[in-house]
Amino acid sequence: MRVLVLLGAPGAGKGTQAAILAQRLGLPHVATGDLFRAAVRAGTSLGREAQKYMALGELVPDAITVAMLLERLDRPDAREGVVLDGFPRNRAQAEALESALLTRGERVELALLIDVPAEELVGRLSGRYVCRLGGHPYHIIENPPAIPGICDTDGSPLEQRDDDRPETVRARLTVQLAPLQGVIEFYRSRGVLRTVDGRQPIALVSRGLIEALEPVTPHL
């Protein structure tokens, strides 16, 4: 099983790049934010619980998040591996993932950090739109759709995420940047961290990520 982790602050471009990489590698793109949003839409008890934290820009408690993620890894389509996006978000989650993988004789192959300076993130998040159906991400300037307001992939309307409004954006960055640093240090200490400059255009960031993967995946 190949487990690749995409790391980055909110707005760094994890979702966009995870989708590209997952397609390239033929692995499912597993985003805990998407799983939570689907649970919120479905009105499940998990969704109701998660929503309380998401609305404040805080992290959903580890017990809930880790259980949801491990359940997802057990699904048949994840047998060959996954591209993880938005998980782990703190050191405790990284440790929980490590021990769960260890019981299967596996480990995180690489953790790819998309590095964007904190001061750029607010602008990126406030210009972000996602489609209603599939959550495909766009940016009003950096990555606009062909037809304004409509998703290129599935034709559904684009909307702003509730937590991309300016009040929540600041809270998310305040709350989430420090734990992300803990995750970065965790993977650095395991020798699997690779960093790509996230200020480049989307195609160049993808190229950087693929180059980082080449030593472990030749002929990509």
Residues taking part in catalysis: 14, 89, 128, 161, 172
Instruction: Give me the least distance between CB of 86 and ligand AMP, in Å please.
Output: 3
Residues numbered 155 to 174 that lie near ligand AMP (CB under 6 A) are 163, 172
Residue 51 CA to residue 185 CA, distance in Å, equals: 29
Phi-psi region of 113 (alpha: psi -120 to 50; beta: other; left: phi over 0): beta
Rounded to whole angstroms, the Cα distance separating 121 from 61 reads 24
Beta strands per DSSP E along 64-164: 81-85, 108-115, 128-131, 137-139, 158-159
Choose between 98 and 217: whose C-beta lies nearer to ligand AMP: 98
Residue 103's Cβ-side half-sphere holds a number of Cα atoms within 13 Å equal to 7
In the bound complex, which residue of the shown chain has the CB atom lying closest to ligand AMP?
33
Instruction: Establish if 206 lies at the interface with ligand AMP (CB under 6 A).
Output: no
The nearer residue to ligand AMP, 70 or 147, going by C-beta atoms, is: 70
Return the half-sphere exposure (C-beta side, CA atoms, 13 A cut-off) of residue 41: 12
Our finding on whether 13 is near ligand AMP (CB under 6 A) is: no
* Residue 87 in the binding site for ligand AMP (CB under 6 A): yes
Q: Copy the structure tokens of residue 79.
A: 């047998």
- Shortest gap between Cβ of 124 and ligand AMP (angstroms)? 12
Question: What is the contact surface with ligand AMP in residues (CB under 6 A)?
Answer: 10, 32-33, 36, 53-54, 57-60, 65, 86-87, 89, 93, 163, 172
